[in-house]
Amino acid sequence: MAKKKHRYSDKEHRQIEHIKENEEARGVDSRHAEAIGYATVNKQNPGKHRFTAKEDRQAEHIMESEEQRGKTEAEAKRIAYATVNKQRS
């Protein structure tokens, strides 16, 4: 079986956890704090591809479906990429 490639390095995971803890200390709820952590790490290295082309297409399809169900664009995107992430793990 092929070894699964992780999207984030150990260092990035530590950064995400540190950001999450700081945001929670400021009063941000845990889920949103974690999202801020991931967004921050992603912003620091925008050239690093986190998803394959196929995964991006899957996310786009899910986003469209969620928007048709009445979700905002931001919520639909969050759901789409969370779903793709879950399928990969």
85 vs 32, which has greater pLDDT?
32
pLDDT, tens digit, 9 for 90 and up, residues 34-48: 888 888 887 887 666
Number of C-alpha atoms within 13 angstroms, CB side, residue 68?
A: 6
pLDDT at 76 over 80: yes
Q: From CA 73, how far away is CA 63, in angstroms rounded?
A: 8
pTM over 0.75? The answer is no
pLDDT tens-place string over residues 38-75: 888 878 876 665 778 888 899 999 999 999 999 999 89
